[in-house]
Copies of this chain bind each other. A is one copy, B any other.
Amino acid sequence: MADIARMAGVSISTVSRALAGNPLIPKALRDHIVEIAQTHGYVVNQSARSLRLRKTDTIGVIIPLAHEAGQLISDPFFLEMVGRLADEITRRGYSVLLNKVIVNETGWLERIIQSHRADGLLLIGQSNQHEALNTVSDTYRPMVVWGARLPGQRYCAVGSDNVEGGRVAVAHLAANGRARIAFLGETDAPEAIQRFEGYKKGLAEAGLAFDPTLVVPTPYTAGEAREAMATFLATGVPFDAVFAFSDVVALAAIDALKAAGRTVPGDVAVVGFDDVVQAQHSTPPLTTVRQDLAFGARAMVDLLLRRMAGEDAPSTLAPVELIVRGSSVAS
């Protein structure tokens, strides 16, 4: 910047003002300075600017992983969410700092905040960190979390109506004559628990008894889910439908069912959750509870910017919608 100043024959502060478009500097001079900066490929150093201004024009997107390793790439839901958030953030003139963190040691979030690399934080998923998030949010405002609405929640959350999603999935299966509906999923994370609640609610509304033998604890990844389904099949417990808490799990279940000689939806109807891209391309196409990620991503960024501006933006529920395809009803 000093160089530019010398070249333009003005002081360094004039250059700073000109480059910032400060109207105190006459337009002619401003343009001249901008031009000379441009021809010399000069761009303001963001580290220095951030230090001085105490802001980075950057939003941190954090993917909290509870169980170590778990490659980011594996989950199409995360990936799609990252893409949509990146779009929204970029559109508003901010940069995206992507942050994959293993949330084992306490203080992981505080560390990210204190490093001052971002003006605001977006977490994709609350993992098992509900209390940590509550604590942090008491002192740090510019943060929005994708995840479940929980009682006593003090942080700003945007998430789908998981209970309703589970309920509507089961209602659909019951309405099509299914009576023994298995639940496939983990019940450790809040979102999973809510979908499980919706599952039980749906059963109750349909006049079906809840049968614990139909609950199949199933990990998040395709490989493990396929195994879990195979193991469940081996138990011989009779069932005619599956509600899986994610599409990845549902698609894996379909694979396992086919491998075991069961037809879908003939022998077993399957409903998933998310509506990832491959849901519509599977065989049969997957009936699923669609999460509106476009809405969710927009809402998260909107709320975050409001919080960064000092407002107190509220938590928001994103609508879900049952998408009926071939995996749950004969075509």
Interface residues in chain A, defined as those with a beta carbon under 8 Å from any beta carbon in chain B: 38, 41-48, 50-51, 56, 58, 61, 71-73, 76, 78-80, 82-84, 86-87, 90, 95-100, 107, 110-111, 114-117, 251, 277-278, 281-283
Distance in angstroms from A288 CB to nearest chain B CB is: 13
Given contacts A47-B116, A96-B99, A97-B97, 12 further A-B contacts (CB under 8 A): A41-B114, A43-B110, A44-B115, A47-B47, A47-B51, A47-B117, A72-B84, A73-B80, A78-B83, A87-B100, A98-B98, A251-B281
Shortest 6 CB-CB distances between A and B: which pairs? A43-B114, A73-B83, A47-B50, A96-B98, A278-B278, A47-B51
Copies of this polypeptide in the complex:
2
Contact A96 B97, beta carbon cutoff 8 Å:
yes
Closest B residue, CB atoms, query A297:
B73
Distance in angstroms from A205 CB to nearest chain B CB is: 32
Chain B residues within an 8 Å CB radius of A90: 100
Contact B100 A97, beta carbon cutoff 8 Å:
no
Chain B residues within an 8 Å CB radius of A78: 83
Chain B residues within an 8 Å CB radius of A83: 71-73, 78-79, 82
Chain B residues within an 8 Å CB radius of A117: 46-47, 95
Q: How far is the CA of A45 from the CA of B55 in the complex (A)?
A: 12
Contact B43 A115, beta carbon cutoff 8 Å:
yes
Q: How far is the CA of A107 from the CA of B41 in the complex (A)?
A: 8
